[in-house]
Amino acid sequence: MRIGELAGTAGVSVRALRYYEEQGLLASQRTPRGQRTYPPAAVDRVQLIQQLYAAGLSSHTILELLPCVDRGVSTPESQARLAAERDRIDRQITGLLATRDRLDAVIAAAADPTHPSCARMTS
Amino acid sequence: MRIGELAGTAGVSVRALRYYEEQGLLASQRTPRGQRTYPPAAVDRVQLIQQLYAAGLSSHTILELLPCVDRGVSTPESQARLAAERDRIDRQITGLLATRDRLDAVIAAAADPTHPSCARMTS
DNA sequence: CTAAAACCTGACGTTGACGTCAGAGGCAAG
DNA sequence: CTTGCCTCTGACGTCAACGTCAGGTTTTAG
């Protein structure tokens, strides 16, 4: 498949795919005229990259961990990095849970007429 | 308290506090000579701001939601924004949980000698 | 009183993951 | 053949939350 189709299927921009290649995260075959070609498996690969970006990993870190996550190839360094990122994500989840609960409490307080710390017009 | 003490207590930089004030997130009294002064409650305020930043909210959004979270003052717009941000955080948590589980699986696979998809030197 | 430390206001620099534009070429349909 | 869409490289633009530096004032310790 060509780059436009991959972008549409994986839900990212064409620019993003070229950027991933530039960062060494995504390989491509080239036609004799220089156009990029991808195997179907590239869709999963791109979505994995997106998932790791969404978790706050940088291009550099993803580059280090991709062989590990994608094909199980690992070194002591990548294992340590992997564990470190896992812990970071874990702390991030903990913080987000606390924030969500705090927002929930505010929402509940605003919806509760018996405890309006704010001015309500429901009379 | 002055800005340096607040920064040290709340765990942020002096520059960040000035930035928060610039964004309208943090008020300060001024001495006759122009130095900023804060009440003790500013510590909690700053930590709340930090918590919201860490949850991915922008300065603009925090500005909109701070009266709501901090003092329960709310409008229909801020309530909608609040619910939207809560849902976004919820989806973010879901995604992070999936990512964490994926990393855990990779870590477990690497530590498991009975299923080494990678090359191991443990002979 | 003096020197260090803290504070002030601008204002430019940083970083990462792309967006966007320019200019040139490639590819299937009619 | 040509029209219109897709693709290419290269390079500058963006945006947010600060970092950092310059040049000057204020507060504090001794």
Written as tens digits, the pLDDT of chain A (123 aa) is 999 999 999 999 999 999 999 999 999 999 999 999 999 999 999 999 999 999 999 999 999 999 988 888 888 888 999 999 999 999 999 999 999 999 999 999 888 766 665 555 544
CA separation for the pair A99, B61 (Å, rounded): 14
pTM for the full predicted model: 0.89
**Is the shortest CB-to-strand distance from B33 to strand D under 7 Å?**
yes
pLDDT tens readout for residues B23-66: 999 999 999 999 999 999 999 999 999 999 999 999 999 999 99
Confidence grade of residue B123 (pLDDT, cut at 50, 70, 90): very low
Q: Are B53 and B23 in contact (CB under 8 A)?
A: no
Dihedral over Cα of A17, A21, A27, A29: its sign: positive
- Report which of B85, B35, B84, B37 is spatially closest to residue B57, judged by C-alpha positions: B85
- How far does the CA of A26 sit from the C1' of C28, in Å? 28
3-state helix/strand/coil string of A51-90: HHHHCCCCHHHHHHHHHHHHHCCCCHHHHHHHHHHHHHHH
Nearest to A118 among B72, B86, B100 (CB): B72
